[in-house]
Amino acid sequence: MPHSVIPPYAGPIPDPSSRLDSLIADARADLAAAEIAVDAASAVIEAIEPHPHAHGHTAGEDCTYAGIGADHFLPLAGLLSQPWRAALDVIVMAQKQQNFDYLLKAFPAAIADVGDTLIDDGADLLDARSDRLEQDLSELFERKPIVALGLIWRLFGFHRRDRDPWVGIFAFRSDLPALIVSTGMIAEDTMLGDALAATVTACRPLLAEVGKEELCRRAARRDAERQASWAEVPEAYRQRGSWRGWAPTKRQRHLMQRIEAARCLPMAATGRRGDTSDGITRAGGNPRFALTGVEKL
């Protein structure tokens, strides 16, 4: 008499839908716990104040991108101390005349239009708000001019964690004066720097999104420039050069991890730098730009 290889199951047959509901409930509970852990970790990170120069490095980097240099140290402070509407009118006019895609790029032209009176106004601002910084900016300027230049924004409350919305206010494509007025907190004689800071605070979600898009566009341009530069290297070296046998770079490893996360699939281990480069190319390159739809300029 034949016998079944699998013994009969005497218990009740579980309901598949109930089992699925249970798995979904467990997943939701795990997700909620993870979100709580992330919020707690984020709170700890935000409670840690960075080095005082970190704010200057962050803002100074954006000033450098916009063509604002050490020579603009006091005039920049002076421009930011002017009544916001009159100063912004001059800046926006300069932006339109030179077709700048980023408002901060128009600051040097606006400084030139207003003239040397901004130097004295800038010195007065530094004296009036010296208590907002850990050290004297004029003394720091002698050693680290770009850091001191960036710390001028600190006089108006800039924090390195606020980089995205601050970039966003200068990349804002619509009517910036109307956005400033919409906050309902800014008088006509408010300093330009204070008006910008108040708008960043009041419109943070909107401006943060605009800022992220602007920074992504810049990264896409840098990526396109790197690719164009690499394409100009002789093909023989690109295909058979000694570099192909070297260990992968740190940037390559990070890019592989980003590609894996975007595709939700592991990439095959490639070993050497040349094979890793080929694998990245086959995978479509940096997914940061493909997934956000940022045009590679």
Report the pLDDT value the prediction gives residue 14, as an integer from 0 to 100. 66
**Alpha carbon distance 69, 67 (integer Å):** 6
Q: Residue 19: what pLDDT?
A: 80
Q: From first to last of its 297 residues, what are the pLDDT tens digits of the chain?
A: 555 555 555 556 667 788 888 888 888 888 888 888 887 776 676 666 788 899 999 999 999 999 999 999 999 999 999 999 999 999 999 999 999 999 999 999 999 999 999 999 999 999 999 998 888 898 999 999 999 999 999 999 999 999 999 999 999 999 999 999 999 889 999 999 999 999 999 999 999 999 999 999 999 999 999 989 999 999 999 999 999 999 999 999 989 888 888 888 787 776 899 999 998 888 888 888 864 444 433
Residues in contact with 23: Cβ distance below 8 Å, sequence separation at least 6, in sequence order: none
Task: Record the tokens describing residue 81, joined without a space.
Answer: 């101390």
Distance CA 75, CA 79 (A): 6
- For residues 89 and 132, the answer to whether their CB atoms sit within 8 Å is no
Structure tokens at 231: 């394409």
Residue 296: the pLDDT is 39
133: left (phi over 0), alpha (psi -120 to 50) or beta: beta
Whether this prediction's pTM lies above 0.85 is answered by: no
Q: Can you say how many angstroms the Cα of residue 115 is from the centroid of all Cα atoms in its chain?
A: 32
CB 110 within 8 A of CB 91: yes
pLDDT of residue 175: 95
